[in-house]
């Protein structure tokens, strides 16, 4: 606008549109960014912060319950395997070994008795072979095809008919009074000692190893669950302290209920798993270790008895590699020494009178057995074969009588230790019963209680 020189009305000029500043367009914000902005704004207020705290608490409590349920389920499955799978399979493998060794002993005992074997000896031999075959079928049905155990089971199934065929040939020749029967019996014993029993021993070692792994897995501490429980309790305590400092209110019933639920789960988890560890350790130390030692002792007694019988069957025909001693007599001495060592270990492991008494009787029986064996050998060395035979298989004051005393005592000791193992392992398995379900249920209740407690505080801002 300018004033004219003659004093007329001022003249107004319209601004040049080209020279005017351009308008700044409004910045558009995406829906995601808008939501994030609103959440940040809400989090700066006390109600917003409470909502975040409530959501985090609920997630933590539910996560604690889920982790505990999964981890404890895994431990409970391993503990169940110890009781219902691993240990029974280990015991069956030991029974296969014992049955085979006893069958070999009965075969030699029956051969010594002459052409007419005692019916009781034949029945025991048949029962041993049938028991070994039954247990092999049972083990095969519960063993994976790719495992070492299945390979040993296959080997035993292939060799067992070969062994029984040799025994039947030995008996047939013995009934006819042919000396070839002794050769068949010795060959059968060699097949048993060199092939069947080592395969059975490997099967027992494989199953016992699986038992040890299952027990160790069941006893492993649930570290993740325990750490999650401590974290949840820490966050719950911090939240309640925060509320107390802001509101001067001492109790929030919802948060207290969530704290109680988490504490129950954590305490249940710690105590239950502590019981599992203690019971399964007791089962392994006081049960399984004793079972292994006693099984070894009984197997050594059976092998020593078979070698003692074969000493008379062979009549010095089989010598040690250096040619200085009778092979079967040497093997008998080795077996008896191993038997004595195993019995000393069993005596140390026996932790009560019921377990120690049969071991003590077995020790007494071994001492009498060795004394009678020396007398039998002296009689045989004098050329009195019939007298030596009577001292070996006779009904009174014979080594056979001492062997039966030792075998009966070891059977009783094994039954006692098996009972101790089962009782302790069952106690360990029972300590975890219900914990996975209980932990999940309590976690859900705790999460609901935490949300209700936070919502109660939020209602004061409305």
pLDDT digits (tens, 9 = 90+) for 11-41: 554 555 555 555 545 555 556 666 666 656 5
Select from 452, 445, 355, 370 the least CA-distant residue to 403.
370
Q: Is the pLDDT of residue 167 over 80?
A: yes
This prediction has a pTM of 0.75
Residue tagged 């069952």 (tokens): 426
pLDDT of residue 450: 86
- Taking the C-alpha atoms of residue 149 and residue 172, their distance in angstroms, rounded to an integer, is 35
Q: Summarize pLDDT for 260-290 with one digit per residue, the tens.
A: 999 999 999 999 999 999 999 888 888 889 9
Q: Is the pLDDT of residue 221 over 70?
A: yes
Q: What is the mean pLDDT of residues 95-107?
A: 91
Tell me the Cα Rg of the chain: 41
Select from 282, 275, 273 the least CA-distant residue to 436.
273
Give CA separation, 84 vs 90, 142, 212, 369, 429, in Å: 11, 11, 14, 38, 10
CA atoms within 13 A on the CB side of 269: 35
Q: What is the mean pLDDT of residues 151-177?
A: 92
- Taking the C-alpha atoms of residue 74 and residue 124, their distance in angstroms, rounded to an integer, is 43
Please provide residue 292's backbone torsions phi and psi, each rounded to the nearest 5 degrees.
-65, -45
Chain-centroid distance, C-alpha 70: 19
Q: Is the pLDDT of residue 234 over 80?
A: yes
Which uninterrupted H or E stretch holds 456? helix 435-458
In the chain, pLDDT over 70 holds for what percent of residues?
A: 87
- Taking the C-alpha atoms of residue 279 and residue 425, their distance in angstroms, rounded to an integer, is 6
Q: Which residues on neighbouring strands pair with residue 11, listed in sequence order?
A: 2
Q: Is the pLDDT of residue 244 over 80?
A: no
Residue tagged 């013995």 (tokens): 174
Is residue 155 within 8 Å of 133, Cβ to Cβ?
no
- 160 contact partners, CB below 8 Å, separation of at least 6: 129, 132, 133, 136, 196
pLDDT of residue 451: 86
Q: Is the pLDDT of residue 107 over 70?
A: yes
């Amino acid at each position: 606008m300018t004033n004219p020189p003659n004093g007329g009305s001022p003249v107004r000029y319209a601004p040049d549109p080209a020279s005017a500043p351009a308008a700044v367009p409004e910045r558009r914000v995406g829906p995601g960014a808008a939501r994030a902005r609103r959440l940040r704004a809400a989090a700066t207020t006390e109600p917003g912060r409470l909502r975040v705290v409530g959501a985090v608490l609920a997630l933590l409590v539910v996560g604690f319950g889920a982790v505990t349920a999964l981890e404890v389920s895994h431990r409970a499955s391993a503990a169940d395997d110890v009781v219902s799978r691993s240990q029974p399979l280990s015991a069956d493998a030991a029974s296969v070994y014992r049955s085979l060794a006893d069958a070999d002993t009965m075969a030699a005992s029956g051969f010594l008795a002459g052409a007419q074997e005692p019916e009781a000896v034949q029945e025991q031999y048949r029962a041993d072979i049938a028991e070994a075959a039954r247990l092999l079928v049972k083990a095969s049905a519960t063993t994976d095809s790719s495992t070492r155990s299945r390979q040993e089971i296959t080997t035993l199934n292939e060799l067992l008919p070969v062994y029984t065929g040799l025994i039947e040939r030995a008996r047939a020749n013995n009934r006819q009074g042919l000396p070839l029967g002794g050769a068949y019996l010795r060959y059968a014993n060699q097949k048993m000692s060199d092939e069947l029993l080592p395969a059975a021993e490997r099967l027992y070692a494989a199953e016992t190893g699986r038992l040890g792994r299952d027990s160790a897995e069941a006893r492993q501490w649930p570290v993740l669950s325990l750490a999650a429980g401590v974290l949840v309790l820490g966050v719950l305590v911090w939240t309640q302290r925060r509320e107390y400092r802001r509101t001067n209110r001492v109790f929030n019933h919802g948060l207290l209920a969530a704290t109680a639920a988490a504490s129950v789960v954590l305490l249940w988890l710690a105590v239950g798993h502590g019981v599992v560890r203690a019971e399964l350790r007791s089962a392994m130390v006081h049960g399984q270790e004793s079972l292994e030692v006693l099984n070894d002792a009984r197997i050594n007694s059976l092998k020593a008895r078979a070698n003692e019988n074969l000493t008379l069957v062979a009549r010095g025909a089989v010598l040690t590699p250096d040619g200085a001693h009778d092979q079967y007599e040497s093997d008998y001495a080795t077996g008896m020494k191993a038997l004595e060592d195993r019995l000393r270990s069993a005596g140390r492991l026996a932790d009560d009178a019921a377990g120690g008494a049969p071991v003590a009787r077995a020790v007494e029986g071994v001492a009498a057995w060795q004394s009678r064996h020396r007398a039998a050998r002296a009689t045989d060395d004098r050329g009195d074969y019939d007298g030596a035979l009577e001292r070996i298989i006779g009904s009174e004051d014979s080594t056979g009588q001492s062997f039966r005393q030792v075998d009966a005592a070891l059977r009783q000791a094994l039954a006692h230790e098996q009972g101790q193992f089962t009782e302790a392992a069952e106690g360990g398995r029972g300590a975890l019963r219900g914990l996975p379900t209980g932990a999940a249920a309590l976690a859900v209740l705790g999460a609901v209680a935490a949300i209700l407690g936070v919502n109660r505080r939020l209602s004061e801002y409305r």
